[in-house]
Structure 1
């Protein structure tokens, strides 16, 4: 479907994109480039089926993510034609009112002082120093998982890397960090998978899953009050108990929920997407093997080319904002398509080409895979470290690792994301 030039908004497309539709979920870059060719922005039905305007150019995406005229909490913006509150939308779908707060009141949903307050409580856990201190633990976890991979392989030496490495590594790391007991981690993984596949036509399933997860977190908190462990969860409990409005009970539960879910899902799929990119581009894998100093740059290229998030959380305009490729009126929603920015040819020449040298020696991040501005991902340094450790260990341990002819990677079409549900690989022996 092409835009009609007679009705097209200046600087944008008149075609309305359904971001839950099969074309966008299965072929997002095809749609992104159509939006770019039509002017850089387009009206969309966002993943929550509410109207918005989406932007794909790097400059517009960065403005939406960092300009204080855009907010994530609809209550901080004037009412507009697309001003449907997310909490109201979830309740209308049948989500229990007592559970909605855990989906709409997280650190990711706050603006201004509230966001700064919660971010400050969490940020000390993800400092560069703290992340560097975690590296030996991450290396140990990766080594243990890789040592076990052959036991999961079938008779042809083929194993699903998503199930047996890409997911277990980051969930083990974040659960260690937050303080989730080892015996409960398999259940957290199940809950995470189920939540990412929310079916709006079956709210009772979401109510059951989310209700069980929230009850479990509350039990964890109660147990810690009896038996402290001096980890991040204990620190948060201490902040809550100090009073003074620094952290409420609901905020404590929501922080644990958000950190564990967000702290492993995106990293897991970075590992899957990145491994696929390396195996599908053997010249780049050979280059990386010949020069290990390229590893950091290679991870940035994996984030640019195949970061998990295709879109960022929608923002509301607090006033009329004229962006480079379209206008957002006060109260309307703007969607930053981060994958569009990361494939903007004016910033990344030949954006579809995987090049592990692209970011080598460049200061900062040229991509927006971790967001931009005040909501920049708190766990970015940890995710990069996990990826560097994982790829280094994976290809050293299994130097003949390869994709399997006739068994291609299986996409996992969760709206707004780029991820694999299966990545069959042949191990081909170890260096051990």
Structure 2
């Protein structure tokens, strides 16, 4: 049977529809699947069969194996993403800008595109951006204070979203005057799917005009670098526009929600917050643990098996769709002792990055270093500016967005200079976090 776990055949479950709590309590769902079998069969929202892999070893092997492709066409699988866009009414000429990107390519085609854009995300380039990120952070903290009402401000709208969209726009080369429009467009693409066509069309048109402007007036930015690459007949016009769109869209939403999740996690775990206050040098290590414990991306994009594959712990047939549950892997007790604990002093069993919040293999997140830098700077300066920072609402009253595959808050109200929540709310109780729920 395709996808049948080799070592867990006796506990492999039957095929299930998506659990009703996959949107409201996703960590519990992926934890349960991980412990049921090495590969669990499940129906996706459109009714098609997919295999969910949630153990750390399995997730890493699937993401690194070239037989598990991002492009469904390479495995003869249905074009579910394209069909979903058509169902939303997106015009055929706009679909490639979202469905034929760096993330949708494999093998030599993927290597070619990634090689062209990778120089913008080198450690040297990101380190050179650090002073600018620090200034942007300080400016946004000033604005947070200005917009606070009764000492309370929403961290997501006033800081977490503006910082990464500004940073990625500067890196790409979007003029400052146009960034508010970019934020509106990308927010609509993330949260207003019913407006997909009316949002994407103007965004594509704007990006084309920006490329033409940079073609006439090159600058020290990514668009100009891509144009120079295009001059060598290595990028088509559509590829160039698609690359810019992909980087801006992907480069801010996940970072924004990671910043919010991290602040929520620290403020609801006062023992960990105290460690950071006592030793700010722990912040880079804390960022890695926060990525493991409350990273916003819960699952990978679907992978499609291009040929029969026996991985030892499970076997798959050509054409199978496989989803790697990053949440399950990041809370796998086989890799992380007591994974339910948030522990910013945690030491990994192996050198390097043990969590899989940025993925693994050829599609490892291109902007991982930039995201970590932003988080380190933001947390350090936020906590230094307001040492008494606290939630302005009881943790259990915070609302999480019911978005498939993501874990992100709708709002994160913070009290800047005090700890005054409802009188009857226990100030140090976070409610269950990732991996802390019974399954």
SS in 2 for 1:411: coil
Equivalent residue, structure 1, for 2:13: 13
Equivalent residue, structure 2, for 1:184: 178
**Contact 1:13–1:40 (CA under 8 A) maintained in structure 2:** no
Cα separation, 1, equivalents of 2:337 and 2:172: 40
Match of 1:41 among 39, 42, 46: 39
Equivalent residue, structure 1, for 2:126: 131
Counterparts of residues 101-112 of structure 1 (less than 5 Å) = 101-112=96-107
**Contact 1:25–1:415 (CA under 8 A) maintained in structure 2:** yes
Match of 1:417 among 391, 406, 426: 406
Match of 2:417 among 415, 428, 431: 428
Equivalent residue, structure 1, for 2:65: 67
User: How many Å apart are 1:323 and its aligned residue?
Assistant: 4.1
C-alpha root-mean-square deviation of aligned residues, in Å? Answer: 2.0
**Contact 1:17–1:45 (CA under 8 A) maintained in structure 2:** yes
User: How many Å apart are 1:233 and its aligned residue?
Assistant: 0.8
**Contact 1:47–1:415 (CA under 8 A) maintained in structure 2:** no
Match of 2:363 among 367, 372, 375: 375
**Contact 2:15–2:43 (CA under 8 A) maintained in structure 1:** no
Q: Does residue 1:218 correspond to 2:216, yes or no?
A: no
User: How many Å apart are 1:169 and its aligned residue?
Assistant: 0.8
Match of 1:365 among 336, 348, 353: 353
Residues 34-77 of structure 1: CA deviation (Å, up to 9, x unaligned): 21232233223446664311111011111110101111112222
Distance 1:175 1:384, change over 3 A: same
**Contact 1:11–1:40 (CA under 8 A) maintained in structure 2:** no
Equivalent residue, structure 1, for 2:50: 52
Match of 1:232 among 222, 225, 238: 222
User: How many Å apart are 1:138 and its aligned residue?
Assistant: 0.7
Q: Does residue 1:356 correspond to 2:344, yes or no?
A: yes
Residues 368-421 of structure 1: CA deviation (Å, up to 9, x unaligned): 000000000111111111100000000000111001244743312221011112
Match of 1:275 among 263, 279, 282: 263
SS in 1 for 2:149: coil
Distance 1:161 1:139, change over 3 A: same
More displaced stretch, 354-363 vs 278-287: 354-363
The number of equivalent residue pairs is: 410
Structure 2 gaps, min length 5: 1-7, 419-439
Q: Does residue 1:158 correspond to 2:152, yes or no?
A: yes
Cα separation, 1, equivalents of 2:14 and 2:264: 35
Equivalent residue, structure 1, for 2:423: none
Equivalent residue, structure 2, for 1:144: 139
Equivalent residue, structure 1, for 2:89: 94
Q: Does residue 1:209 correspond to 2:193, yes or no?
A: no
Residues 308-343 of structure 1: CA deviation (Å, up to 9, x unaligned): 110111110012223455432111110001111001
Equivalent residue, structure 2, for 1:342: 330
**Contact 2:348–2:354 (CA under 8 A) maintained in structure 1:** no
> Structure 1 length as normaliser, TM-score?
0.90
More displaced stretch, 370-379 vs 221-230: 221-230
More displaced stretch, 221-230 vs 291-300: 221-230
Equivalent residue, structure 2, for 1:3: none
Structure 1 gaps, min length 5: 1-7
Distance 1:180 1:301, change over 3 A: same
**Contact 1:298–1:359 (CA under 8 A) maintained in structure 2:** no
SS in 2 for 1:334: strand
SS in 1 for 2:340: coil
SS in 2 for 1:97: coil
Cα separation, 2, equivalents of 1:59 and 1:406: 37
Cα separation, 2, equivalents of 1:143 and 1:360: 33
Equivalent residue, structure 1, for 2:430: none
SS in 2 for 1:420: coil
**Contact 2:73–2:79 (CA under 8 A) maintained in structure 1:** no
Distance 1:164 1:48, change over 3 A: farther
Equivalent residue, structure 2, for 1:4: none
Equivalent residue, structure 2, for 1:170: 164
User: How many Å apart are 1:15 and its aligned residue?
Assistant: 4.3
> Structure 2 length as normaliser, TM-score?
0.89
Match of 1:196 among 190, 196, 199: 190
